[in-house]
Amino acid sequence: MKVKSIFRAMAIMTAILAVNINVHAQNVGAANQPATGFTLNARSLTLEVGATHTLRISGLADAQAAKATWESSNKEVASVDRAGTVTALKEGKATITATVDREKASIDVTVTPKMSKDDQRTDGKEVKPTGDTRAAGEVKPTGDTRAAGDVRASAMTLSDTKVELKARSTRTLSVAGLAAGEKAVWESSNKDVVTVDQTGKLTALKAGRATITVTVGAEKRTCDVIVNK
Instruction: Find the range with the poorest average confidence among 72-81, 85-94, 112-121, 200-209.
Output: 112-121
Instruction: Find the range with the poorest average confidence among 25-34, 151-160, 186-195, 198-207.
Output: 25-34
Instruction: Find the range with the poorest average confidence among 12-21, 49-58, 219-228.
Output: 12-21
Pairing of strands 162-166, 219-228: parallel
Other beta carbons less than 10 A from residue 192's beta carbon: 10
Distances from the Cα of 116 to the Cαs of 49, 119, 132, 209, 212, in angstroms? Answer: 12, 5, 20, 19, 17
Pairing of strands 44-48, 103-112: parallel
Instruction: Identify the pLDDT of residue 101.
Output: 87
pTM attached to this predicted model: 0.40
Type of residue numbered 164: E
Q: Please state the rounded mean pLDDT for residues 22-40.
A: 56
Sequence-separated contacts (24+) of 171-175 with Cβ below 8 Å: 171/201, 171/202, 172/199, 172/200, 172/201, 172/202, 173/200, 173/201, 173/202, 173/212, 173/214, 173/223, 174/200, 175/200, 175/214, 175/216, 175/221
Instruction: Identify the pLDDT of residue 42.
Output: 81
Distance of alpha carbon 31 from the chain centroid:
32
Instruction: Identify the pLDDT of residue 25.
Output: 46
CA-CA distance, 190 to 164, in Å (whole number)? 15
Give which of 169, 170, 192, 172 is closest to 184, Cα–Cα.
Answer: 172
Q: Please state the rounded mean pLDDT for residues 15-32.
A: 50
> How many DSSP H helices and E strands does the chain contain?
2, 20
Pairing of strands 201-204, 170-172: antiparallel
Helix (H) / strand (E) element for 215: namely: strand 208-216
Task: Say whether pLDDT at 19 is over 50.
Answer: no
Type of residue numbered 13: M
Write down the mean pLDDT value for the chain.
78
Type of residue numbered 154: S
